[in-house]
Structure formats: structure tokens, C-alpha cells
Structure 1
Amino acid sequence: MYARLWCVCLAAVSAMAAEPPIVNDCILIGGEQKSASEQSLLQRLAPLKHKRFEATVQEGTDSYTYTFEVCGRVDNSSKSSNEGLVQNETASAKTTVIGRINDTHIINGTDWILLVYKSGDKYDSHCDKESRKAMIMISCNKNTLADGFMIISEERQKSNDCFYLFEMDSSVACPAEESHLSVGSILLIVFAVLIALYIIGGFLYQRFVVGAKGMEQFPNFTFWQEFGNLVADGCDFVCRSQPRSSETAYRGVGDDQLGEEPEERDDHLLPM
């Protein structure tokens, strides 16, 4: 019984592995060999998956609305044909598929991602009746997840390789920010952590083990107090511009400070 159950499980896993990607996901072109860089780019677009964006443009008397989904079908009904970006003409209510998600290509640069949907509906007369193609330029904008979807231009004045160009802003296109701490920053952080541990640990020890109160709860309070006094004395010694004591403003009246009095002459008092 267990052997039969094991065989059933293996068969189910093999069947799942053999199945193609589900239709509401982007299917990358390139055959069996899938590009690892493209796969990683699709992972970056995961926050935008199945989000719907619309842009309306006026061309003369005609109005067109473009609807776009990131790796999702615009039409979720049973009639869907993997359309990832469609054009709806307002007057005639005509719908044209610009690109399909089962024919996807994706590339990127420093701060942008270019998502390409190919295999759209064929042109009637332009571009040698080739299939339409949608190119969506997703530019870096750290302030929004997704915004500003609009059509830039339609290039169809060529014999082949025509395309519709769209753009939008998204933070998923921004490069990952790497923060590298310098050696000095690391040393400062370690030093600050050690000081915090010393103060907190010493405070708890002094309070709960020694039973100290008030300022004596600070670890090694006497040492730091004496250290502060020594620092103050050293600063006073180095920075003071005048000596600590100055001469007394008033001099004493000792005998050594008395000058010789002039000799009095009393010759004029003697009788002639």
C-alpha cells in the first residue's frame, strides 16, 4: 500500500514539473533554457503582479484606452488569450491585443526595467502585417509602488520591428541600497555598547548587591569623581593665563618698608 502511494506521489510531482507555467504568469521566451537574470527580474516585479493600470489618450476625434497588467491577463474570462496589454477604441468598442504574457522578455539597467510583451494582434497594413509588441519602461521612483502609467509613442512607420512604448514609475526598479559601515563606525558602535553595558550592569550591581543609594549607585563613583577633579586641575593648569595668586594690592607697613625720614634741622632754634 505504501509503495503504491509513493508511486502516486512521484507521478503527481512529475506531472507538475512537466506542466508549463500557468497562463496568468509571464512566460519568458528563449526555449527550455531560461535566463536566470530574467527570472530574478520577474521576482522583483512580484509586488506589481496582477495589478491593473490604465491610460487614455486622445488622437484627433478618436479616444483609446490602454489597459496593462504585470504578469496577468487583462481578460480573466474563458475567452482570454494571454493578453497582458490591450487597446480599447472608445467609439467602436474595438479591442486590440498589443502584447501577450506568454511571450515575455525582460531586461534592466541601473534604475530601470524594460518589460516586453510580444505576439500581439497583427497590424492590418502597417509594419508588413507583423504582430504588435508592447514595451513598458518601468523607471525608478522610491516614492511610489506603481504610478504614472502612460503611452509615449507608437512606432509603426517601419517595415518591421514596430512597437508601442509605455512608461511608468515604480520603486521595484530602484537598485537595492547597500549600507557599508566603516571600521571607525564599527569601533564607535562597539565602544558605545560597552559603555552602555558598563553603566547599566554597574548600576544594577551597586543598587541590588551593594545596596548603594543616590549617586553612589553609579559604578566606581569615587574613581570617576577623583578622575574628574584631576582632569579639571589639568585643564586649569594648562589653560590658565595668569598665576593663581597675585601680589597683595596693599603693601604692609613693616619697618623694612619704611623709608628713611629726612633729618630735621633745628639750627635756627639755637640762640645766636
Structure 2
Amino acid sequence: MFPGGRMSLAHACLPAVLLALVATAAAGEKECDLVGVKGAESKRELALLKRLEPLVNQSFTVESDDGKEKYSYTFRVCREVSTGGDNSGLVQLNKNTQKSTVVGRINETHVASGTEWILLTYKGGESYGSHCGGEKRKAMVMIVCNPKTLAEGFHMMVEEREKTEECFYLFEMGSSVACSPVDSPLSVGYSHLSVGSILLITFASLVAVYIVGGFLYQRLVVGAKGMEQFPHFAFWQDMGNLVADGCDFVCRSKPRNVPNAYRGVGDDQLSEEPEERDDHLLPM
């Protein structure tokens, strides 16, 4: 009974131990720390990090060949690539010598964005040797809008190290998190319309519904034929006269219902009437 009881006790404690280990690992996992004073970070950058959260648990790898040596680059969003607690956010691995180099660290993060892109920058990498004045490496990952995928197409663009300072590694990938929130299937094409355009489209839609619906009603329900199928045909027939009367009332400068001025008749308009002779009426 004792050995069996000891085994049962171990089985009962095992889940609790595993949960404790997972909680410890999760609590110890480091996240992005924006460049600047702690507690005084830019609200815009914090909002951008929030948008990048769907990519946090993913790892991206790409290989590069400069003709002399082959490299492999591994990138994570706001998480450490290695488990050594070195804050590595992007790591370079020399495929020939198996030497690992930290290109950028998540504890020196900077984020910027545009309409269809997010630029994630990791600074504080390992120092250059004979290049760039021995400054620390910097990784820049351009995340461009791709609404069809959460993340794909991670590749290296260029390593700029032919300068004396401000050298960098530039990478690019596509992701839907970089797309503007209004770029949904229902809003594409309408997000940049003005209020007047939207009202015009709405009015045109209502007119089309009125004409089509009225036509069907007149034809199928009332049984109208010809032009009588048009909804409110008599009203629209009189509309032209009503518009003309309104224009005449508003636009004409001459007052209405004013009697014509009196004009006398001149002597030149009078003609001598022919003399009537009644001699033929006398008895002969």
C-alpha cells in the first residue's frame, strides 16, 4: 500500500508542478521594451505593438548567401530568439562557422508606421568588427500590408555596412496586421469617399429602387400598360408645367397681372369712311 500510495501522490502532484513550470516560463519571457524612459513611452508606439501581438508566437527564418559565406537569420516579434536571456530579437547564424551573432535586441525597440506598413526596429545588437566604426548592429523589419495572410514572405533586403555609422540590416515580410483597419472586404473602395459622394450614391440607390419597384407594382398589381407603368406617371407629367410656373414666378422681372398702358388713337390711324349714297332708293 505504501508504494502504491506514494505513486498516487506523485501523479496527483505532477499537474501542479507542470503548471508551475509553465507559469514561471511565461512570467520570465521577455517582451519588447521601447527606446526611452520607462513609463513615458509613446502612445502611438504602444498601440503599434498591440497591433503586432498576433505575430508574437511565431518565428521567421531566412537564409542569405553573399558569395563568400552563407547566413541564416531568425526573427521573432517582441520575443527572444534564444533562451539565454540576451534579449535577442533577430539573430544571425554563420552556416560555415556556426557562429551566432545578435543583430538586434527587443529591449531597444522602436516602431513606426504608415498607411500600409509597420517598421519594427531592434537596436543594440553586437558591435561590428572592422565595419561601421565598430558601432552596434541594428535590425529593421519592414512589415507591409498583405490582407491575405497573417504572415509570410520573410526575406532579407540588404545589409548596409559600407558607412562609418548608422549601418543596418533591412528585412521585409507581408502581414495583415500592417493593413489599415478600414481595409476590410466591405470597406475597400469606400473608405476614401467624401460625405457628399456617399449621399449621392445613397440617393441614386433610392431612386433606382423607387423606379424598379414602382414599375413592377404598376405592371403586376395594377395591370398598367405602356407609359402608365411608370410610377406616379400623372404627377411627373405635370412636373414640367409646375417647374415652368415656378421659374416664371421667381425669375421674371415684369410684374404679373399688370394692365397694359392706355394708348390713344392718332389721326393717321383714322381713315375717311366712304360716303354712302342712297339715291337708288328714291322713286323714279
TM-score, normalised by the number of residues in structure 2: 0.58
Secondary structure (helix, strand or coil) at the match of 2:81 reads: coil
Match of 2:63 in 1: 56
Match of 2:79 in 1: 72
Choose which of 89, 94, 102 in structure 1 pairs with 2:94: 89
8 A contact 1:56–1:65 mirrored in 2: yes
TM-score, normalised by the number of residues in structure 1: 0.60
Task: After TM superposition, give the deviation of residue 232 of structure 1 in Å.
Answer: 3.6
1:132 and 2:132 equivalent? no
Task: After TM superposition, give the deviation of residue 234 of structure 1 in Å.
Answer: 6.3
Secondary structure (helix, strand or coil) at the match of 1:38 reads: helix
Secondary structure (helix, strand or coil) at the match of 1:107 reads: strand
1:169-188 correspondence runs (5 A): 169-177=174-182, 179=187, 182-183=198-199
The CA deviation string for residues 57-115 of structure 1, in whole angstroms up to 9 with x for no partner, is 1122421000000111101x2x2201000000111110000000000000011111100
Structure 2, gaps ≥5 residues long: 1-26, 210-216, 234-284
Structure 1, gaps ≥5 residues long: 1-20, 193-222, 239-272
Secondary structure (helix, strand or coil) at the match of 1:143 reads: coil
CA separation of 1:66 and 1:225: change in aligned 2, threshold 3 A:
closer
Query: Among the aligned pairs, what percent are the same residue?
Result: 43
**How many Å separate the matches in 2 of 1:111 and 1:226?**
51
8 A contact 1:50–1:71 mirrored in 2: no
Secondary structure (helix, strand or coil) at the match of 2:158 reads: strand
CA separation of 1:176 and 1:90: change in aligned 2, threshold 3 A:
same
1:228 and 2:222 equivalent? yes
Match of 2:106 in 1: 101
Match of 2:163 in 1: 158
The residue type equivalent to 2:158 in the other structure is S
CA separation of 1:158 and 1:144: change in aligned 2, threshold 3 A:
same
Match of 2:52 in 1: 45
Choose which of 14, 31, 34 in structure 2 pairs with 1:25: 31
Secondary structure (helix, strand or coil) at the match of 1:39 reads: helix
**How many Å separate the matches in 1 of 2:156 and 2:97?**
20
The CA deviation string for residues 14-36 of structure 1, in whole angstroms up to 9 with x for no partner, is xxxxxxx9752111112131101
Task: Give aligned pairs, total.
Answer: 186
**How many Å separate the matches in 1 of 2:141 and 2:108?**
14
Match of 1:117 in 2: 122
CA separation of 1:228 and 1:135: change in aligned 2, threshold 3 A:
same
**How many Å separate the matches in 2 of 1:37 and 1:54?**
28
Q: RMSD in angstroms over aligned alpha carbons?
A: 3.2
